[in-house]
Amino acid sequence: MKNTENKAGKQLYMEGLKDGIPVAMGYFAVSFTLGITMKNIGMSAVQGFIMSLLNNASAGEYAGITMIASNAPYIETALMILIANARYLLMSCSLSQKLDSTVNTLQRMIIGFDVTDELFALAVSRENKLEPVYFYGAMTLPLAGWSTGTMLGVIAGSALPARIVSALSVALYGMFLAIIIPPARNSRIISVLVLVSFACSFLCGILPGVSSLSEGTRTLILTVLLAGGAAVLFPVKEEAV
């Protein structure tokens, strides 16, 4: 009986490992450009590797790098990353409904550690209940690809000429454009909110009083105000089941 369970667990792990391969490839490419940005603010390859290993989230990690670059206090950095990664709280709550009642707290914590958009999509697409072993397999390569890609990006930033490093740094902004442009094209509300956020960010950098605040504080305030205002004024309607 024990051997049968181990065999089934290994099969589930390998299934998750296979499903995680394309996710890992995408994560590696994005994290490499993130590593270039880390190099530009003076972080080492080891620091980049550890940071990505503990924070597998592009927007949240970039927010953290921005705060570090602006010498923001620890509390501001923690709050900014919490806000940037807040959607994962909702994903985790949803994902918990896919777990069997026999899944213990440690297993839930391991799954919660690496809930990302892509891994969440893999998990919720599973029929019936989500097996923790499957998720362990699915998260293995993406987590390795994300942290290793960041480390290699820092190393490449140290070895390549400054002009090439500067060019590669633009790739990260291209990634964020790739994230916001598709939904902005499909929704007039989102496109307006994107433009408003650009304008507010620019104004906060030149207006008296507000411009004296640190970049991290301005980013934190704008994120809360704009996201909160959008949620109140334009709530997402729930679809009828």
List, for residues 72-116, the tens digit of each pLDDT value.
Answer: 888 888 888 888 888 788 888 888 888 888 899 999 999 999 998
pLDDT at residue number 43: 92
Q: Sign (positive/negative) of CA torsion 158, 164, 166, 170?
A: negative
Q: Is the pLDDT of residue 239 over 80?
A: no
Question: What digits encode the pLDDT tens for the residues 10-20?
Answer: 899 999 999 99
User: In 3-state terms, what secondary structure has residue 86?
Assistant: coil
CA atoms within 13 A on the CB side of 78: 3
The percent of residues above 70 in pLDDT, for the chain, comes to: 85
pLDDT at residue number 110: 93
pLDDT at residue number 241: 39
Q: Is the pLDDT of residue 23 over 80?
A: yes
Q: Is the pLDDT of residue 191 over 70?
A: yes
Mean pLDDT of 47-54: 93
Q: Is 37 exposed, middle or buried (0-12, 13-18, 19+ CB in 10 A)?
A: buried
* pTM of the full structure: 0.71
pLDDT at residue number 198: 84
